[in-house]
Structure 1
Amino acid sequence: MSYNIREDENEVILQSLQDDLLVTDTDGIITRVTAAMKSLYGVENKELVGKSVYELEKSGVCTPIVTPLVKESGKRTTIIQTTKENKKLLVTGVPVFNDNGKLWRIATYSHDVTELVNMREYLAHMEEEMQRVLNELNHLRSQYLQEHGFIARSSSMKRCLEMARQVADTDVNVLLLGESGVGKTQVAKMIHQESPRKEGPFIEVNCGAIPETLFEAEFFGYEGGAFTGSHKNGKVGLAELSEKGTLFLDEVGELSLNNQVKVLKFIQEKQFYRVGGRKPKNIDFRLVTATNQPLIELVEEKRFREDLFFRLNVVPITIPPLRERTSDIIPLIEYFVQDFSKKHNRDIQMDKAALKILCEQEWKGNVRELMNVMERLIVTSPTKLISAEEIWMPLGNDKKDTKKYTFQGSLPDTLSSVEEALLKEAASSCRTTTEMAEWLGISQPTVFRKLRKYNIK
C-alpha cells in the first residue's frame, strides 16, 4: 500500500495543533506560527511570519524573548513572558539541530498562565496580610497577658497560658501543676476572669495552711454550738462562699487522706453539710486546683487518693519554671523595675552587667523570688543605676561567683569553648541578635556569623 504525501502536509499538521507554536531561524526571523498565536500576541499570523522576534520585543509585543537564550545555551529554556496586553506566558524554547549538529531552528511553544501568575501574586499578598494579622494578634495577646499580670515571651509559657484561656469559658476541672512561685494563683485568677463566672467570687483555699483538725470547719463551715469554742451563730465555710464563682484549692497535695475523702464527696455531689448541721447545702461552683507536689507519685505511695486525682486531673496545665523560660527573665525584670519604681516613687535603671548576672541565676523560687529580689533592689539602691556590685547581696552572695572554664588542651580550643558558652548564654537571655550584640560588645553581623559557626539557634 502506498501513500500520496501532500506538499503542504507539514503545514496542515502544524496548524491543527492546539498549542501555541512559533518557529524562528537562528537570527530570530519567524518562519512558522500556529493560528493560536494571534490570541496571545494580538497580531495576525501573516504579519508575524518574516518578522524578527527582536523587533517584536523592541515594539513591546512581548518581553523578554527566549530565542537568544536558547541560541546561547543550545538547550531547552523556559521563561515567563509578558505581552503588550499584560498577559503572562510560560514560554519554552527548544533548539532544533540539522544533520551536521548545528543549530538550525528554534521552536517556541507558549501557555497562557496569566491566571496562575495572578493567583500566585494574590496568594503572596494574602500571606503578607496573614503575617500582618498574625503580628497584630500576637501583639494583642501580649497586651491581653499583661492585663492579667503575665509576661510571656517564651513559647512554653505562651502555650500554657493559651491552654488556660481556651478552657476558661467552660466549667471543666483544671489542675495547675508547677513549682512554688511559678504563678499558679495568677493563672487560676486569669481562668476565673475569662470565665462566665467572672462576676462571681474567686475563693482561694490554701490547703497546706489550714490545720488538719480545723479543715472541715473552715472549709464547710459549722452551725452554732457545733463544738466547744465555736461561735454561737455558726460560721459560713469557704466552700459555701464560692456560690456562682470559682473555688481555687491551692496546695491540694497537702490534704490529709481523711480530708481528701470529704473533698472528693463534695466535688462529686456539689453538696455538703456544715459541721453539726443536718440540712444539706448545694453549691454551684467551678473548681480549679493547684499543687507543686508530684500527685502521681503520691498516688503510687498511697498518700493521695487515686479517685480524687482523676477528679482533679481533667485538664492538667503545667506551668514551666523560670529557669526553663529564660527569655522571659529580662522582660520580667523590666516590668518589675517599672512597677516597683512607680510604687516606691523611685527612678531606677539597670545596667547591662547587672542584667547579665540576674539572667544567669537559677531562680529556684521562680517568678516570686525574682519579684522579691527586684523590689529589694529598687528600695535599697543608693543610686539611680543598679550596678553589678549591688546584685550579689540580694542574691545571697557576698562576691561574684566567677565562672571557671576547663582547659581544652590548647589555647585556641579553650577560647573557642568559652566563646561558645558565652554565645549560648546571650542567646538564652536576649530576645534579638541586636541585644546580643550590645551585650557581648560585638557587631550584629559578627553575632550571626558566630551563631552559625557553633550551630546555636
Structure 2
Amino acid sequence: MSKNRHSLEIELNAILKASNDNIVITDGEGKVLKASPNCEDIYGCSRSYLIGKTVFELEKENIFTPSVSLRVLKERKEVQVMQKTLTGRVVMATGIPIFDDHKTLIRIISFSHDLTEIQKLREDYEHLQAKMKQYEFKIKELQEKQFGNEKMIINSKKMQKTWDLIHRVAKSDAAVLLLGESGVGKTAFAHALHDLSDRKNESFIEVNCGAIPENLFESEMFGYEAGAFTGASKKGKKGMIELANNGTLFLDEIGDLSLDNQVKLLQVLQSKKVARIGGNKMKQVNFRLAAATNQNLEQLVKEKKFRQDLYYRLNVVPITIPSLRERKEDIYQLIHHCLSKFNKKYQSRKSFHPTAIDALLKYDWPGNVRELENLIERLVITSETDIIYPGSLPFNEQSDHSRHTNWSELEHFDDRYLTLREALQAVEKNWLERACRQYKSTYEMAKYLGLSQSTVVRRLKKYHIR
C-alpha cells in the first residue's frame, strides 16, 4: 500500500511538473497541499511559499485575486473565474471539488491557464478596431468634402487622370469646358469643380441652355425690372447670372444655344456686367464659368452654328470626361453603388446573379452612367424576385444562353406550317425540356435559362412539363 502511494506521489508530481497550466491542490478546508513549479511565473511566489497557506490568506495577500478555490469552498461546485496576478498576468482559473463517498469535500483542484497573450491580442484588436473606426470616419469626412453630394467612382486610370485635372483647375478662376458623351457625368464634375474651389460656400447656378425657350433666354439669364413687360413680376426678378455672383455659373448643353443668344452671353462674359431687362443700371458680376456639351463645338464653329469668339471664351481649360466603355474598371463598383442606393430608396433587398453581373460588365453602355443608373433603378422596381437574372436585362441577347441557341432547329418550323407565335412557343418548350433533363431543380433551371424561379415554375405548368 505504501509502495502504491509512493508511485502515485511520483506520478502526481510528474503531472504537476509537466503541465503547462498552473495546478494547485488544497484540502477540504482550503489549505494548499501541492502546487506546480510554474506558479512563480504566474503568481509571483514560490511553490514552497504557497504550500501550507490557506486560500483565505492568499486572497488577502492578493496572490489569488479572486481565489477560485475559495469560491469552490463556498459554492461546493465547479467554478471558473478570471484572475489578475501580482505579475500582471491575466489568468483563467477553474476550480473542481472532489468529494468522498459520504459527499464530504476532501480536495479542491484548480487549474490556472495564462491568458495574458490572448488578452493582449484582444486589447490590440479592440484598439485596432477603434483606430479603423476613426479612419473610416475621417475618410468619409474627406469624401464628403471632396465629392459633395455626388458619389464619384474612380478606379480607372482615365478617370483618375480627369479627377486630378479637376483638382488642379478648381482653385483657379479659369473657365472650364466639360466635354463628353451624354450621360457621362458632366454635371457631377461641374459640382465637384465648385465644391473644390474657394467659391464652395457660394451659389452654384445650373442653366440647361437647351431647355430654355429662345424668347425667354434674356429674362431668365439677365432678369428684369418691375413691370418690364406684360406679365412681369411687380417686384422684378434676378437673372441666373446675377444669382451666380461670387459663385459658379454652369451652362449645360451650351452647344444648343442660338447664335443670337450666344452674342448676348458673350457680352456679359467680356464685360462681367449685366443689366436687367427694362433697366439701365449695369451691375458688376463675379462668377466662375463652367460649361458642358456633348457636341463637337469646333465642328459647329466651322459650320457657322457656334461663334468662334464665344468658343475661345469657353475653351480655356477643356476637360473630356471618358465614356463608361472607356473605363470598364469602374462599372462593377458603379453597379453596386447604384444597387445599394435604390435598395435603400425603395426599401428592397435586390441583388444581381453573377451571370447578370457578367452581362452588365460586357455591355457597351451607349447611355453611359445615366443609362446604367436608370436601368438599375428600373430593375430594382420591376424585378419579381430578390435575385435579378440576365433574362431581366433588355440587352439579354448578348448573354451566353442566347449565343448558344441552336438556330438550325428553326429551319424546320416552316415545314410544319407554324405561326410565329407557335414557333416561339415551340422553342421555349424545347429549352424548358432540355433544362429539365439537365438539372434537378427549378432553381438550377432558372439559373441556366436566365429567368426567375417563379417564372420557370409558371412556364413548366403552361407546357405541362414535369
TM-score scaled to structure 1, two decimals?
Answer: 0.55
Q: Matches of residues 283-322 of structure 1 in structure 2 within 5 Å?
A: 283-322=285-324
How far the C-alpha of 1:356 sits from its partner, in A, is 1.0
User: How many Å separate the matches in 2 of 1:333 and 1:388?
Assistant: 14
User: How many Å separate the matches in 1 of 2:175 and 2:235?
Assistant: 33
Letter in 1 for 2:197: S
Unaligned runs of 5+ in 2: 1-135, 406-466
The answer as to 2:228 corresponding to 1:230 is no
Letter in 1 for 2:384: P
User: How many Å separate the matches in 1 of 2:400 and 2:378?
Assistant: 18
Alignment match of 1:151 (pick from 142, 150, 153): 153
Query: Contact between 2:259 and 2:306, CA under 8 Å: does it hold in 1?
Result: yes
How far the C-alpha of 1:187 sits from its partner, in A, is 0.2
SS of residue paired to 2:207:
strand
Unaligned runs of 5+ in 1: 1-135, 406-457
Q: Which structure: larger Rg? A: 2
How far the C-alpha of 1:228 sits from its partner, in A, is 2.2
Alignment match of 1:335 (pick from 334, 337, 351): 337
Match of 1:241 in 2: 243
Q: For this pair of structures, how many residues does the alignment match? A: 266
Query: Contact between 2:147 and 2:195, CA under 8 Å: does it hold in 1?
Result: no
The answer as to 2:357 corresponding to 1:352 is no
User: How many Å separate the matches in 2 of 1:145 and 1:241?
Assistant: 23
User: How many Å separate the matches in 2 of 1:178 and 1:263?
Assistant: 23
Query: Contact between 1:145 and 1:152, CA under 8 Å: does it hold in 2?
Result: no
SS of residue paired to 2:305:
coil
The answer as to 2:281 corresponding to 1:279 is yes
How far the C-alpha of 1:367 sits from its partner, in A, is 0.3
How far the C-alpha of 1:280 sits from its partner, in A, is 0.4
User: How many Å separate the matches in 2 of 1:157 and 1:203?
Assistant: 25
User: How many Å separate the matches in 2 of 1:330 and 1:237?
Assistant: 42
User: How many Å separate the matches in 1 of 2:280 and 2:403?
Assistant: 67
Match of 1:174 in 2: 176
Per-residue CA deviations over 1:162-203 (Å, capped at 9, x if unaligned) read 111111111111000011110000000001011100110100
How far the C-alpha of 1:402 sits from its partner, in A, is 3.7
Per-residue CA deviations over 1:95-154 (Å, capped at 9, x if unaligned) read xxxxxxxxxxxxxxxxxxxxxxxxxxxxxxxxxxxxxxxxx9xx9998955974111111
How far the C-alpha of 1:361 sits from its partner, in A, is 1.7
How far the C-alpha of 1:307 sits from its partner, in A, is 0.7
TM-score scaled to structure 2, two decimals?
Answer: 0.54
Match of 1:377 in 2: 379
Letter in 2 for 1:213: N
CA RMSD, Structure 1 to Structure 2 (Å): 2.5
Query: Contact between 2:148 and 2:195, CA under 8 Å: does it hold in 1?
Result: no
User: How many Å separate the matches in 1 of 2:327 and 2:398?
Assistant: 27
Query: Contact between 2:339 and 2:380, CA under 8 Å: does it hold in 1?
Result: yes
Runs of 4+ residues over 6 Å off in structure 1 = 139-143, 396-401
Letter in 1 for 2:339: V
Match of 1:203 in 2: 205
Match of 2:257 in 1: 255
User: How many Å separate the matches in 1 of 2:279 and 2:178?
Assistant: 33
